[in-house]
């Protein structure tokens, strides 16, 4: 028999994105009382080495702290682990290898959702950290689906994405939203029919501004939350 | 030397109120990057006996599950515990006695905030579960401060508070807000100059409706979050 379902959220990257993910878990579950809601233990400790800086060779690796957090969650009884941070999936293989329980993969979940679309787009834009872009997971997955990825330029990353992302971390969401909206519109102008918001800070920023001119978006954090909730609902039918 | 600060959030009562509290913790901390934010481990497991039903003698006590959650959090390294649920403070003494680390008290935190107001109101309304009202903590504290509490009637509890509270748990926040707004306005009409939203579901509901006709409110969840953040900031000056 499987152990009871308890989702371990390996968070803190950033802390607001983790809280947003926990909210998305609740929205993904059609509960009519508290007891039907998804059970969660969350590690929202943001004193973890900066992922973007680590991958740029400018700071220490967050892996030791990620492993420690994973242990805390499994010791507390987590039956599954979710990581609401795309960039942190750079260390996914090491985490999955060290984990006694399944670790869900935010990129695979997102690509599966794209695969099931009845009308598959030809061009999909990717708003992500340099670390996520360099890893190439989304681009490879899109290419396999016959979709060509539309990527930010180096200049756009410097002027819009990076400052927008760090503005969310200061809770300056309107400023962040304006910067990331420009990034999104630039990808759209280059042909993106759908935009993957492949950094969990991005939807938080875009919520703060008028996105009515924007093409449809896919939010990996929402898709990951829905996957986690499906696993819970399968063990606890209601 | 004190152990490093790590806030343990004993949550799940309800799960949305816990997520809201975690958001309030971030808002209470003037961080300019992830690393300055308050570190949190949260137990958001809503499969816990219904507090209102237990206190009405209609269901089992949540105390065994509260103690288990407390242990999980302290085993994970929590240096302080916060419980974003007023009603659960019925079991505060048992939890504080069993805990190796300090457990903050949502009612004491709220009464301290009222005490520091420069113009202390004469009449304060209390929106709370029957369990919180029966416990009498807020009423006793208010009376000591020379403030007379304005309480809901039994009819108002049945028609407005209880269905409003359970509507939040179904995420029907507009319906919840309309019911709880009526409750709030009734207390205001009976003289309340300030309203204490002494159930962590209530601010979530009132956010969903137009409260411009409402007298000022005090949100114990926000005050508790601010207290937790002050403790963090004292250990980690920035």
Looking at this predicted complex, what is its ipTM?
Answer: 0.95
Once rounded to an integer, what is the mean pLDDT over residues A55-62?
94
Query: Do strands A194-197 and A123-127 pair parallel, antiparallel, or not at all (unpaired)?
Result: parallel
| A16, A41, A47: residue with CB nearest B35 | A47
Taking the C-alpha atoms of B34, B40, B41 and B45 in order, what is their torsion angle to the nearest 10 degrees? -100
Residue of A17, A20, A43, A45 best to disrupt the B interface, most CBs of B under 10 A: A45
- Best CATH choice for the domain A107-219 from the list 3.30.460.10, 3.40.50.1860, 3.40.50.2300, 3.30.390.10: 3.40.50.1860
Given the residues B25, B151, B199, B223, the one annotated as active site: B199
Q: Where in chain A is the domain with CATH 3.40.50.1860?
A: 7-105+222-235, 107-219
Give A6's contacts in chain B (Cβ within 8 Å).
45
- pLDDT > 90 fraction of chain A, expressed in percent and rounded: 92
Residue of A nearest to B74 (CA): A76
Q: Where in chain B is the domain with CATH 3.40.50.1860?
A: 7-105+222-235, 107-220
Taking an 8 Å cut-off on Cβ atoms, the answer to whether A47 and B27 are in contact is no
Q: Judge whether residue A110 has pLDDT over 50.
A: yes
A149-200 residue pLDDT tens? 999 999 999 999 999 999 998 889 999 999 999 999 999 999 999 999 999 9
Please give the residue that has the higher pLDDT: either A17 or A3. A17
Give pLDDT, residue B238: 65
Give pLDDT, residue A236: 80
Give pLDDT, residue B2: 56
Please report which confidence band the pLDDT of residue A3 belongs to, taking 50, 70 and 90 as the band edges.
Answer: low
Q: Judge whether residue A63 has pLDDT over 60.
A: yes
Q: Are A17 and A201 in contact (CB under 8 A)?
A: yes
Give pLDDT, residue A1: 44
- The string of DSSP codes covering chain A is -PPPP-EEEE--SSHHHHHHHHHHHHHTS--SSGGGSPPEEEEE---S--HHHHHTTSS--SHHHHHHHHHHHHHTT-SEEE---SGGGGGHHHHHHH-SS-B--HHHHHHHHHHT-SS--SEEEEE--HHHHHH-HHHHHHHHTT-EEE---HHHIIIIIHHHHHHHHTT-HHHHHHHHHHHHHHHHHTT-SEEEE-STTHHHHHTTS--TTSPPEE-HHHHHHHHHHHHHHHHS--
What is the residue-level pLDDT of chain B in tens, covering all 238 positions?
456 999 999 999 999 999 999 999 999 999 989 999 999 999 999 999 999 899 999 999 999 999 999 999 999 999 999 999 999 999 999 999 999 999 999 999 999 999 998 889 999 999 999 999 999 999 999 999 999 999 999 999 999 999 999 999 888 999 999 999 999 999 999 999 999 999 999 999 999 999 999 999 999 999 999 999 999 999 887 6
Å between A46 CA and nearest CA of chain B: 5
Q: Judge whether residue A122 has pLDDT over 80.
A: yes
Give pLDDT, residue B3: 62
Once rounded to an integer, what is the mean pLDDT over residues A83-100?
97
Residue of A7, A9, A15 best to disrupt the B interface, most CBs of B under 10 A: A15
Residues 6+ apart with CB under 8 A from A210: none
Architecture of domain A7-105+222-235: 3-Layer(aba) Sandwich (3.40)
B31 touches chain A (CB under 8 A): yes
Give B22's contacts in chain A (Cβ within 8 Å).
18-19, 22, 42, 44
A195-235 residue pLDDT tens? 999 999 999 999 999 999 999 999 999 999 999 999 999 98
Give pLDDT, residue B112: 96
Taking an 8 Å cut-off on Cβ atoms, the answer to whether B15 and A27 are in contact is no
| Residue B85 annotated to the active site | yes
Give pLDDT, residue B181: 97
Domain boundaries B107-220, corresponding CATH code: 3.40.50.1860
Residue B212: CB atoms within 10 A of its CB come to 5
| A31, A42, A75: residue with CB nearest B44 | A42
Give A27's contacts in chain B (Cβ within 8 Å).
171
Residues 6+ apart with CB under 8 A from B57: none
B82 touches chain A (CB under 8 A): no
| B16, B38, B43: residue with CB nearest A26 | B16
Give B129's contacts in chain A (Cβ within 8 Å).
none
């Amino acid at each position: 028999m499987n152990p009871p379902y308890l989702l371990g959220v390996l968070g803190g990257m950033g802390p607001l994105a983790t809280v947003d993910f926990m909210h998305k878990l609740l929205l993904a579950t059609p509960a009519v009382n508290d007891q039907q809601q998804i059970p969660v233990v969350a590690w929202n400790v943001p004193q973890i080495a900066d992922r973007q800086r680590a991958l740029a060779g400018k700071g220490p690796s967050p892996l030791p702290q990620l492993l420690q957090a994973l242990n805390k969650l499994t010791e507390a009884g987590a039956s599954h682990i979710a990581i609401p941070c795309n960039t942190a999936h750079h260390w996914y293989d090491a985490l999955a290898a060290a984990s006694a329980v399944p670790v869900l993969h935010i990129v695979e979940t997102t690509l599966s959702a794209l695969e099931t679309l009845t009308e598959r787009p030809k061009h999909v834009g990717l708003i992500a950290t340099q670390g996520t872009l360099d890893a190439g997971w989304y681009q490879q997955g899109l290419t396999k689906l016959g979709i060509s990825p539309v990527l930010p330029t180096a200049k756009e990353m410097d002027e819009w994405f990076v400052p927008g992302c760090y503005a969310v971390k200061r809770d300056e969401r309107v400023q962040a939203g304006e910067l990331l909206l420009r990034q999104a519109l630039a990808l759209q102008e280059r042909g993106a029919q759908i935009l993957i918001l492949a950094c969990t800070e991005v939807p938080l920023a875009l919520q703060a501004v008028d996105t009515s001119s924007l093409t449809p978006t896919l939010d990996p954090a929402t898709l990951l939350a829905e996957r986690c909730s499906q696993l819970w609902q399968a063990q606890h039918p209601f």
